[in-house]
Amino acid sequence: MKDAIQVCELKKKYGSHMVLKGLNVQIKKGEIFALLGVNGAGKTTTLECVEGLRKYDSGMVIVNGKMGIQLQSSSLPIHIKPIEAIKLFAKWNKTKPDFSVLNSLGIKAFENKLYIQLSTGQKRRLHLALALIGDPDIIFLDEPTAGLDVEGRRSLHEQIRKLKLKGKTIVLASHDMAEVETLCDRIAILKKGNITFCGTASELSEKIGRKYFIHIKTQQGDHTLETDNIEDTLLSMLSELKQKEIRVLDIKVDRGTLEQHVIDMVRREEE
């Protein structure tokens, strides 16, 4: 199966500052793919080069399919109404608005308000609706749930999952690791214009070194231990606590969150 997006040796500099230093990445059809990285890592520049919104200096970008781009909140005139923006985008894309999609995003409830009067969540939903006009194969989402409340995030995550079920490829840039962990099939970590890791979240934890985290709550307080050998550490820790007659209130074991893995990965690269 052909990749939805192929990026080869992508380079981009602003003045003398090299932002992308020969970036390579392939995104498969039908997957949800996340670009992660700290501020200034080059996420938005990468997305904009792939989307065709920004010219790059050298390299190659191949996009196999129609693109839909969720733009930032500042990208519509403040006095436009959602219904007008939807009709305009539909006319530009030579299509008719799919009202089932618009209804599922709840656009109807605020379609006649001015853009300036919309809440952050309503703006995000509108921009997603606009990105979906023209039935694109590949959808780019830049910080899709930033500034949304819990219900807004849940609703938008549901929409993104529905799009995946329809076979759409979704590329998102996000700072929200929990969101990425629950939604994405693969992730790429960008650091100083290069991809330092590309794969699944479990591949990342493998690469980091299969660490386990033991979170223990006792009468004397909370503690977290990092270990490679879960069985021995747990047994020796429990026997020590028993010897000292410290009562255990709660105990949890996990392999760390994606956020911890990404931080470890970035630190490791720096070292």
Partner 1 sequence: MSGFLYGVVLQWKLDIRSKSLFVTCYIVPLIFFLLMGGIFLSVMPEMRSTLIQSMIVMSVSMGAFIGVPPSLLETYGSDIKKVYKANGVPLCLGLVTMFISAFVHLLSSCLIIMLLAPILFDAVLPVSLPFFFLALVIYILVSLSIGSILGLLIKNQAKLTMTAQLIFLPSIMLSGVMFPIDLLPDFLKIIGYIFPAFWGYCLMLDRGFCLENLWYLILIFSAAVIACAILLHKQKFK
Say which amino acid occupies 168: K
Please identify, using beta-carbon distances, which residue of 77 and 209 lies nearer to partner 1.
77
For partner 1, the closer of residues 114 and 237 by Cβ is 114
Give the number of other CB atoms < 10 A from CB of residue 112.
10
Helix (H, G, I), strand (E, B) or coil at 201: helix
Q: Choose between 89 and 197: whose C-beta lies nearer to partner 1.
A: 89
Q: Which of 92, 99, 162, 217 binds partner 1 (CB under 8 A)?
A: 92
Query: What is the helix (H) or strand (E) element at residue 113, kind and residue range?
Result: none
* Closest approach of partner 1 to the CB of residue 92, in Å: 5
Q: What does the alpha-carbon distance between residue 156 and residue 5 come to, in Å, rounded to a whole number?
A: 24
Question: CA neighbours within 13 Å on the CB side: how many for 23?
Answer: 35
Closest CB 35 distance from partner 1, rounded Å: 18
Tokens of 92: 């530009």
Residue number with CB closer to partner 1 (18 or 71): 71
Q: How far apart are CA 31 and CA 258, in angstroms?
A: 18
Shortest CB 159 distance to partner 1, Å: 19
Q: 8, 22, 16, 5: which is closest to 193 by C-alpha? A: 22
Nearest to 55 by CA among 13, 117, 114, 103: 13
CB 222 to partner 1: min, Å: 44
Rounded CA-CA distance 76/123 in Å is 10
Query: What whole-number distance in Å separates Cα of residue 197 and Cα of residue 23?
Result: 12
Q: Output 70 or 122, the one with its CB closest to partner 1.
A: 70
Interface characters, 48-87, with partner 1 (x: CB under 8 A): ---xxxxx-----------x-x-xx-xxxxxxx---x--x
Name which of 88 and 225 has its Cβ closer to partner 1.
88
Count of positions on this chain that bind partner 1 (CB under 8 A): 25
244 binds partner 1 (CB under 8 A): no
User: Least CB distance from residue 224 to partner 1, whole Å?
Assistant: 42
Minimum CB–partner distance for residue 85 and partner 1 (Å)? 9
CB of 206 to partner 1, least distance (A): 37
The H or E element containing residue 182 is: helix 177-183
DSSP 144: T
Residues 6+ apart with CB under 8 A from 8: 24, 59, 60, 61
Decide whether 11 or 207 has the Cβ nearer to partner 1: 11
What is the footprint of partner 1 within residues 106-135 (CB under 8 A)? 114
Q: Kindly list the residues in this chain that would bind partner 1 in the complex (CB under 8 A).
A: 51-55, 67, 69, 71-72, 74-80, 84, 87-89, 91-94, 114
